[in-house]
Structure 1
Amino acid sequence: MSGKLLSVNAYHYRRGGSDVAYFAHAEAMERCGWEPLFFSMKHPQNYEYAYDHLFAERVDYDHDTSVAEKFRDAARIVYSLDARKKLKKLLAQHDVQIAHIHNIYHHISPSILPLLTDRKIPVVMTAHDLKLLCPNYKMLNQLGVCQSCKGGRYWNTVRYKCIKSSLLGSLLIAFESAVHSIFQIYKDNVSKLVVPSEFYRGLFLEWGWPDDKLVYIPNAVKSRPPLAFADKNRYILYFGRLSEEKGLKTLIEASARSSTPVYIAGTGPQCAELHALSDQIRAPVRFLGRLEAEALERAVAGSCATVLPSEWFENAPLSILESYSYGRPVIGARIGGIPELINDGCTGYTFQPGDPVELAELLRQVFETPVSSLASMGGRGRHWAELRFNVNTYTEAMTSLYNEL
């Protein structure tokens, strides 16, 4: 089976991990004979695309807008008539065989799903996060990891102000989740939900998703030549979003405790706060900002390992697989799907999330490990990634899934 594959995502540029997966998936399936077609939201940073005039209008929560625009955007969060109308125009011009949905929450909304169902287009969706279960998508609030909304108890989102500590924002998103749950808009219109980690599969089952809707297909990473280790001026690297759930305060404290140089690559809402903390406790941390492909590769080349200190239920982080592909061992928190990707003591090390003392010991241990030992550990991770998480295995599994529908 092949034909036109419609890929849908909120952003049409590489903003975060799910956006990287959106493009990588379309590229991999194109090599298998599928013709790519995209639908997204208009955004000034989007890559140029022939049909971007048919993208949904931009919904932006980070800039000041009028009261009327705020009400309009609030309505689009729950059910975007604009996105549905624009997609209808796109489908009138193209015969689509499969629709693959990535992240559509808030910006596109599930309004497009019944349209696809009505046209008898099978819908596959990848669960990149926990939004289908938890209104704030992270199962994390100021009290830590939280599953209070289980069983449709979305009022807890308002109770704990889970959306940016805002009462009104939490009320809106709780309402969104309640409406989508009551009308079963995802469960009734998504043919198969792809979960990239066994942890997420278990969580979705626990929260009431039917087993026959779930398909475990792990993420994939391209094979790359391994990067040689630097003999001096080494450091441990974090690359990703700078936000609360990533555990970067714990990382900075651990760096200070162990006097281990840590480089942090990325941007995000916690950037200024992390800079201030690093300065305050005199941590040997260097902030690199956002790095694109070649610059990131140079940063990885100078590292002796990478670290992922997350404090939320991570899915199947691509940063771990990318680190392995470069031949770097990984230090990761024992939470969510991270332990599935780290063979403790073999391809990296794990630690209790939120524990700067244990992390400090690991940072010091890895930093002092001879290059030959680090290279062996990174080589084992690279071999495992090539064997288990290669693009061919991914496309074969996805092709098999598409053929079932």
Structure 2
Amino acid sequence: MRVLLVSKFLHHVGGVETYVRWLAETMQAAGHQVALLGMRPPDGHDPMDFGEAPLYLTPTRQFVAASSRMRVRSAMSSIYSRAAGATMKRALSEFSPTVIHYHGTCYQLTSSVVTAAAASGAGRVMTAHEYKLVCANQRLWDDAASRICTRCLGASTAQKFSEPVKASCIKSSRAASAIGGAEAVLSRQVWQRARDVAIHAPSKFMLSTLVDDGWSAGRIRVIDLPWSPGGALMTRAREHFLYMGRLAAEKDVLTLIKGWHLARDRTGMRRLLVAGDGTEAQQLRDWVRSNKVERVKFLGRLDAAGIAESLAGAIATVHPAAWFENSPFAVRESISAGVPAVVADVGGMPELVRDGLTGHTVAHGVQSWADAFAEAVHGAAWVPEPGQGVRAAADTYAMTGPAHLDELLDLYGTAYAWANDGA
């Protein structure tokens, strides 16, 4: 099979890119031919290593330009990019894919890469990593108010443009929200007309959200993302809790730190390690310093070896996201390594955790996190003893790489049939 993977970023940004790279490597190892289409990385970044797979690169998007004319041009091409559409046509001509698998198109690529492939005969699949099909913000999150927002869920076409503008929910900017709203309305029309595109939902929560927004359940299939093979069970003493991820408002690490501070007399000499970087990093450091929070260490962004080392001594990983996380890689990575995951009860995260076996679900809030820290230190049932782990329990329900690929290939076959026989 010849598969064209389409993702706006081909340099590593987060979990989506981790999955795209895994998929490219796994499919090539299984004998399939793979090519990738995405934005040329900005200065200082290189594309991830995709082996011999050809890359089709669209122009780097420059959202900060020196002149008003350039800013307008950048804004317009983030709504619908003719250059990206032309790159897609070239990929179709040169690579002739059997299947096109989309992972993210907004702003950097736009829906032009969807319309350009409409009559190609290739099966088309889209993985709904975020809520782009539902709202312009992509996260069902209001940046201005820093809270979950569902005003666009099930809204009319006009409201899907007007509501983001009213709320300034994208980057707390009315101008950015207007551009995002216009792109969302146009791309939604494109995706809805493309009825032969099969939608891959990584969680049941994503499926229910899309259906609530009016998308046909017949187009959507839930396939859990692959879980990484677990390493050896951890045998060293477990000394700390670990957060790993972006430091952004919707991740709400501040609530986690406040819970840690509240539990300070109940956690002994354990530490809270914060691995990651982002827009909230300095604010979090300032809060820790000004409030004299003890035993918190910021590690910055870690590579794979650093994450493995931090996991090795973790009592549990903690995932306090206040937005509707879909199927975060960090939770699966923790459980696969034999480390229980404590997750907030929002979005798709609770689907990944079996209470008492592979972790714990808490009501998101300062007191709940404080209690979870204390319970873990004092021997909660979901915390394994040194030398034990939760990986065996995870193996009973976690999606293996080969099983994920088999289900995905079956979905590819369905999409190809739709494209050539009619849905």
Which range, TM-score by smaller chain?
A: over 0.9
Q: Is the 8 A contact 2:337 2:391 kept in 1?
A: no
CA drift of 1:37 comes to 0.4
Secondary structure of the corresponding residue to residue 37 of structure 1: strand
Alignment correspondent of 1:218:
224
How many residues get paired?
A: 398
Which of 242, 249, 262 matches 1:244?
249
* Residues 1:378 and 1:169: Cα distance change in structure 2 (over 3 Å): farther
* Residues 1:313 and 1:210: Cα distance change in structure 2 (over 3 Å): same
Q: Is the 8 A contact 2:92 2:117 kept in 1?
A: no
Structure 2: gaps (5+ residues):
417-423
Secondary structure of the corresponding residue to residue 300 of structure 1: helix
RMSD over aligned Cα atoms:
2.2
Whole-Å Cα distance in 1 between the matches of residues 340 and 272 of structure 2? 15
How do residues 283-302 of structure 1 correspond to structure 2 at under 5 angstroms? Answer: 283=293, 284-302=295-313
How do residues 262-281 of structure 1 correspond to structure 2 at under 5 angstroms? Answer: 262-281=272-291
Secondary structure of the corresponding residue to residue 100 of structure 1: strand
The one-letter amino acid of 2:343's match is: G
The one-letter amino acid of 1:111's match is: S
TM-score (normalizing by structure 1): 0.92
The one-letter amino acid of 1:374's match is: P
Alignment correspondent of 2:410:
400
Please state if 1:33 is matched with 2:31.
Answer: yes
Q: Is the 8 A contact 1:229 1:304 kept in 2?
A: no
CA drift of 1:274 comes to 1.2
Query: Structure 1 residues 200-209 or 45-54, which shifts more?
Result: 45-54
**What is the percent sequence identity of the aligned residues?**
25
CA drift of 1:111 comes to 0.3
How do residues 230-379 of structure 1 correspond to structure 2 at under 5 angstroms? Answer: 230-231=236-237, 234-259=239-264, 260=267, 261-283=271-293, 284-353=295-364, 355-369=365-379, 373-375=383-385, 379=389
Whole-Å Cα distance in 1 between the matches of residues 210 and 349 of structure 2? 17
Alignment correspondent of 2:72:
71
Alignment correspondent of 1:59:
61
Q: Is the 8 A contact 1:9 1:39 kept in 2?
A: yes
Structure 1: gaps (5+ residues):
none
Q: Is the 8 A contact 2:340 2:383 kept in 1?
A: no
Deviations along 1:136-180, one digit per CA (max 9) or x if unpaired, are 011122162211113232211111110111111111111221223
Query: Structure 1 residues 368-377 or 17-26, which shifts more?
Result: 368-377
The one-letter amino acid of 2:237's match is: D
* Residues 1:201 and 1:372: Cα distance change in structure 2 (over 3 Å): closer
Alignment correspondent of 1:131:
132
Which of 173, 189, 214 matches 1:208?
214
The one-letter amino acid of 1:209's match is: W
Whole-Å Cα distance in 1 between the matches of residues 28 and 290 of structure 2? 49
* Residues 1:314 and 1:320: Cα distance change in structure 2 (over 3 Å): same
CA drift of 1:251 comes to 0.7
CA drift of 1:187 comes to 2.2
CA drift of 1:53 comes to 7.4
Whole-Å Cα distance in 1 between the matches of residues 85 and 255 of structure 2? 43
Whole-Å Cα distance in 1 between the matches of residues 382 and 104 of structure 2? 41
Alignment correspondent of 1:188:
193
Alignment correspondent of 1:174:
181
